[in-house]
């Protein structure tokens, strides 16, 4: 028997793109935003540009991985 899968992210009803579909998706977006704000306060891009850039890219790639793994990619928009 197949377990009911909960999707955190899915296609928007209007327009293009994806968005959070459950509380887990919203928490994921909140954590991502908090991490980006914390990085901007902890790492000075003027002094450590490469570290600031690499950390932001790494966190964004992690977000993309979560969206791909926990997203609903079926064709229908219903």
> 47 lies in a domain?
yes
> 3 lies in a domain?
no
| Domain residue limits at 63 | 9-70
Q: pTM of the prediction?
A: 0.80
Phi, psi dihedral angles at 10 (to 5 degrees): -155, 175
Instruction: Give every CB contact of residue 12 below 8 A, 6+ residues apart in sequence.
Output: 18, 19
Does residue 78 register a pLDDT over 90?
no
Q: In this predicted model, what pLDDT tens digit does every residue of 32-71 receive, in sequence order?
A: 999 999 998 888 877 888 998 999 999 999 999 999 999 8
> 40 lies in a domain?
yes
pLDDT at residue number 45: 77
With the C-alpha atoms ordered 8, 11, 17, 21, is the resulting torsion angle positive or negative? negative
Q: Provide the number of structural domains found in the chain.
A: 1
Does residue 77 register a pLDDT over 80?
no
């Amino acid at each position: 028997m197949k377990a009911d899968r909960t999707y955190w992210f899915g296609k928007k009803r209007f327009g293009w793109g994806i968005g959070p579909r459950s509380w887990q998706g919203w928490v994921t977006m909140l954590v991502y935003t908090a991490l980006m704000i914390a990085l901007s306060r902890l790492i000075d891009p003027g002094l450590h540009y490469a570290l600031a850039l690499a950390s932001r890219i790494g966190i964004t790639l992690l977000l993309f991985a979560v969206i791909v793994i926990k997203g609903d990619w079926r064709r229908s928009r219903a």
